[in-house]
């Protein structure tokens, strides 16, 4: 009995991998990819502490790094050996069975450029952590760094609560499925301080519960020079109750002013210096937060927030709110030329419809580079030396964005149409709400597959689907009298045209919805006339 | 009297914008093009393709145009018009 239970408890390497994936909701894979993509290069000597089944080991070796990987578990190492052999990477990988506390005795000083440990430190006692960090310091070359990725218990109230609410059921589920569990680090940065190390940058995943620490010896950290007085401050990616509530508001009522704004001026992301690139953006709160989320912990840059009247850069530029003059004003008033030595601005590509790049070049002599469409592409764009691929240049409209934009538009039309209905024509409120919501989300999902080159054309198949659904409803669930049938068919047709034509404005791949207003008004008036006149003419009751 | 008339004029304005936006088209004058490729750099839907040999740009995909006007504004040679 007992041995059976013990056997069940023993985690197989495959189960372990699955369990870790599940516990971190797949993020651990991304952490490993980032480590390998950013730091593993030809000839870099890496020590991986606790390599487990060798996933990261193989990734780093595949990019040319020479990896020494250690683990205390022979079964894990066997699996790692198989993985490395299967990838044909034996030449660049040395696997050793040893406990992490022995690294200081086993390897000569200054023998690694990079020391990596993922989900290892949380399994160790505080004393072991301190001992190993001390050893790491001697093993590193002077320019070397330590990367530690681990689970962290969020320090503050609400996020801590959220963390336990999500984590407890997840831990139970993972343990039942794979007999894998992990512990979490707490107060790690103060430990780093104790041993004269410091986190040069940190990247947080899963609301701060999975963190990648990028650690260097404290003495090697570039001294923080006195900030130029025009710098507003440093921006960090943070999820707080305020940002959650703001996101919720913006998800529904983004179109409606007043728009949440960020103070204009020059900000730091990471630790930029006088050579770091300068990115320009508008002062819409959501824009700035999304840029920071995409960049914090990945690059060291200056962010120049110019006045776009609290509107996103594309719409603001199109509407004349974000112009070359606004960018020039921001460059001048932040005294940017006293902060950086170069004269190059990176502007969001999507503001090119309103910000005259040549005017900036002519007026103040700063070079203008058009950055990628999406903030997520900025690190790759910078790494490639300000080179854009076509994928970074072209807008896309994936399902996630379509659902978001439909919700944004529905929030607006909710106030515009549904609220008056609720007050003046309550009988119509629920049917119209359900139809509009159903049509909108159906349209969002089906958009790429609906024939027609613009929203007005696409509303024809949309109306077809709506009427077919209505026919099914009346045949199978609720047979309606002819007058109701007639009227609802017209209403659904009208709502379909409205949905197709108006939601065109949310798509970056089509012209503004204003292009449809003429036809929309005409079709609407016609449908309305039929709605009232036909029953009247036929004496229908 | 002013309220209805201003309402009417703003409606007219809206319809004018609607007509313009619906029928705006890119007019490209290749003879003016010096191959700066700013249009290619800023077009979000991929209408333009640079021809590196002849140092000009080709307006190869007019169907995709969303009339955003970025290429018109960024062309230093005024070789592109939207009308």
Give which of A509, A315, A344, A370 is closest to B39, Cα–Cα.
A370
Sign, Cα dihedral of A260, A263, A267, A270: negative
Quick check: A95 and A81 in contact, CB under 8 A? yes
Interface test with B, best of A318, A319, A352, A389 (most B CBs within 10 A): A352
Total domains in chain B come to: 1
CATH number at residue B72: 3.30.70.20
A209 lies in some domain: yes
* Higher-confidence position of A174 and A446: A446
- pTM for this model (two decimals): 0.67
CATH number at residue A47: 3.40.50.150
Quick check: A277 and A346 in contact, CB under 8 A? yes
Q: Do A353 and B38 touch (CB under 8 A)?
A: no
**Stretch A110-127: mean pLDDT, rounded?**
88
pLDDT tens digits, residue range A256-307?
A: 888 899 999 999 999 898 899 999 999 999 999 999 999 998 899 999 999 9
Alpha carbons A151 and A132: distance in angstroms, whole number: 18
A357 lies in some domain: yes
Total domains in chain A come to: 3
Run of H or E including A113: strand A112-118
ipTM: 0.89
pLDDT of A445: 93
B2 CA: distance to closest CA in chain A (Å): 24
Q: Tokens 């999507």, residue?
A: A350
Range of the domain at B50: 25-82
Range of the domain at A358: 231-393
Run of H or E including B18: helix B2-23
Chain A contact for B75, CB < 8 A? no
Kind of pairing between the strands at A112-118 and A140-151: parallel
Q: Which chain A residue's Cα is nearest to B78?
A: A358
Is pLDDT at A388 greater than 90 in this prediction? yes
DSSP B54: T
C-alpha triplet A228, A355, A353: angle, nearest 5°: 145
Same domain membership, residue A302 and residue A211: no
CA distances to A180, A209, A214, B44 from A183, rounded to whole Å, are: 11, 11, 20, 46
Q: What residues pair up with A150 in beta bridges, in sequence order?
A: A211
Same domain membership, residue A277 and residue A193: no
Residue among A394, A516, A521 minimizing CB distance to B44:
A394
Give which of A132, A259, A149 is closest to A210, Cα–Cα.
A149
Domain end residue (candidates: A393, A425, A450): A393
Domain end residue (candidates: A195, A220, A245): A220
* Higher-confidence position of B40 and A153: B40
B62 lies in some domain: yes
CA distances to A114, A456, A492 from A531, rounded to whole Å, are: 74, 21, 12
pLDDT tens digits, residue range A18-61?
A: 777 777 777 888 889 989 988 888 889 999 999 988 999 999 99
Chain A contact for B4, CB < 8 A? no
All residues of chain B having their beta carbon less than 8 Å from the beta carbon of residue A455 are none
B45 CA: distance to closest CA in chain A (Å): 5
Interface test with A, best of B66, B72, B76, B82 (most A CBs within 10 A): B66
pLDDT of A6: 44
Q: Do B74 and A357 touch (CB under 8 A)?
A: yes
Is pLDDT at A223 greater than 80 in this prediction? no
Strand order in the sheet with A265-269: A231-234, A265-269, A301-305, A278-281, A344-347, A367-370
Is pLDDT at A415 greater than 90 in this prediction? no
Chain A contact for B46, CB < 8 A? yes
Quick check: A493 and A482 in contact, CB under 8 A? no
Residue A341: pLDDT band (50, 70, 90) is very high
B58 lies in some domain: yes
Same domain membership, residue A280 and residue A188: no
pLDDT of B23: 85
Mean pLDDT of the residues in chain A: 87
Same domain membership, residue A204 and residue A341: no
pLDDT of A226: 60
A4 lies in some domain: no
Question: CB contacts < 8 Å between A and B, how many?
Answer: 69
| Residues comprising chain A, all counted | 541
Q: Do A515 and B42 touch (CB under 8 A)?
A: no
Residue A216: pLDDT band (50, 70, 90) is confident
A2 lies in some domain: no
Run of H or E including A214: strand A210-217
B12 lies in some domain: no
Is pLDDT at A211 greater than 80 in this prediction? yes
Residue A541: pLDDT band (50, 70, 90) is low
Same domain membership, residue A444 and residue A424: yes
pLDDT of A277: 96
pLDDT of A452: 81
C-alpha triplet A350, A405, A446: angle, nearest 5°: 110
Same domain membership, residue A298 and residue A154: no
pLDDT tens digits, residue range A372-381?
A: 999 999 999 9
pLDDT of A196: 86
Q: Tokens 């990987």, residue?
A: A69
All residues of chain A having their beta carbon less than 8 Å from the beta carbon of residue B73 are 352-354, 356
Chain A contact for B14, CB < 8 A? yes
A1 lies in some domain: no
Residue A9: pLDDT band (50, 70, 90) is very low
* Higher-confidence position of A344 and A157: A344
Run of H or E including A57: helix A55-62
pLDDT of B3: 62
B35 lies in some domain: yes
Strand order in the sheet with A197-205: A93-97, A66-71, A45-49, A112-118, A140-151, A210-217, A197-205
Residue among A357, A509, A516 minimizing CB distance to B66:
A509
Same domain membership, residue A195 and residue A68: yes
Domain end residue (candidates: A220, A247, A279): A220
Is pLDDT at A224 greater than 90 in this prediction? no
């Amino acid at each position: 009995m007992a041995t059976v239970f013990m056997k069940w408890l023993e985690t197989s390497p495959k189960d372990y991998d699955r369990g870790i994936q599940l516990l971190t909701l797949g993020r651990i894979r991304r952490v490993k990819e980032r480590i390998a993509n950013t730091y593993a290069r030809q000839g870099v000597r890496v020590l991986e502490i606790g390599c487990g089944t060798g996933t990261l080991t193989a990734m780093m070796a595949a990019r040319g790094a020479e990896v020494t990987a250690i683990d205390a578990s022979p079964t894990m190492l066997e699996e790692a050996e198989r993985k490395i052999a299967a990838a044909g990477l034996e030449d660049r990988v040395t696997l050793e069975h040893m406990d992490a506390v022995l690294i200081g005795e086993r390897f000569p000083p200054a023998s690694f450029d990079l020391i990596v440990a993922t989900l290892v430190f949380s399994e160790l006692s505080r004393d072991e952590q301190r001992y190993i960090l001390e050893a790491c310091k001697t093993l590193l070359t002077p320019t070397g760094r330590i990367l530690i990725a681990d689970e962290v218990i969020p320090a503050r109230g609400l996020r801590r609560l959220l963390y336990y609410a999500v984590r407890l059921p997840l831990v139970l589920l993972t343990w039942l499925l794979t007999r894998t569990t992990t512990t979490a680090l707490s107060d790690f940065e103060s430990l780093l301080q104790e041993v004269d190390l410091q986190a040069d940058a940190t990247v947080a995943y899963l609301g701060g519960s999975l963190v990648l620490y990028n650690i260097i010896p404290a003495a090697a950290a570039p001294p923080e020079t006195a900030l130029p007085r025009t710098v507003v401050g440093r921006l960090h990616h943070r999820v707080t109750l305020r940002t959650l509530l703001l996101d919720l508001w913006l998800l529904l009522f983004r179109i409606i002013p007043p728009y949440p704004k960020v103070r204009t001026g020059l900000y730091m992301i990471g630790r930029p210096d006088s050579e770091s690139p300068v990115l320009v953006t508008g002062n819409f709160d959501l824009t700035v937060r999304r840029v920071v989320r995409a960049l914090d912990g990945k690059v060291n840059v200056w962010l120049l927030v110019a006045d776009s009247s609290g509107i996103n850069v594309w719409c603001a530029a199109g509407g004349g709110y974000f112009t070359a003059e606004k960018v020039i004003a921001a460059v001048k008033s932040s005294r940017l030329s006293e902060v950086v030595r170069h004269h190059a601005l990176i502007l969001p590509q999507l503001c090119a419809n309103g910000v005259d790049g040549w005017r900036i070049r002519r007026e103040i002599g700063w070079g203008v580079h058009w950055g990628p469409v999406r903030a997520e592409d900025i690190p790759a764009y910078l790494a490639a030396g300000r080179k854009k691929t076509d994928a970074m240049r072209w807008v896309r409209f994936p399902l996630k964005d379509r659902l978001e934009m439909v919700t944004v538009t529905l929030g607006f039309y909710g106030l515009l149409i549904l609220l008056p209905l609720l007050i003046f024509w309550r009988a119509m409120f629920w049917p119209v709400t359900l139809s509009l919501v159903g049509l909108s989300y159906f349209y969002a999902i089906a958009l790429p597959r609906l024939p027609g080159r613009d929203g007005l054309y696409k509303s024809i198949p949309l109306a077809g689907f709506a009427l077919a659904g209505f026919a099914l409803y009346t045949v199978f669930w609720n047979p309606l009298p002819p007058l109701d049938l007639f009227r609802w068919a017209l209403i659904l047709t009208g709502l379909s045209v409205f949905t197709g034509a108006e939601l065109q404005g949310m798509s970056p791949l089509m012209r503004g919805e204003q292009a449809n207003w003429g036809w929309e008004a005409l079709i609407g008036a016609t449908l309305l006339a039929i709605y009232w006149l036909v029953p009247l003419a036929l004496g229908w009751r | 009297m002013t309220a209805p008339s201003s309402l009417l004029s703003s409606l007219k304005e809206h319809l004018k914008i609607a007509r313009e936006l619906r029928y705006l088209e890119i007019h490209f004058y290749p003879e003016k093009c010096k191959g700066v490729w700013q249009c290619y750099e800023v077009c979000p839907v991929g209408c333009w393709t640079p021809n590196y040999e002849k140092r000009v740009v080709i307006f190869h995909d007019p169907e995709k145009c969303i009339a955003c006007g970025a290429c018109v504004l960024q062309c230093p040679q005024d070789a592109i018009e939207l009308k």
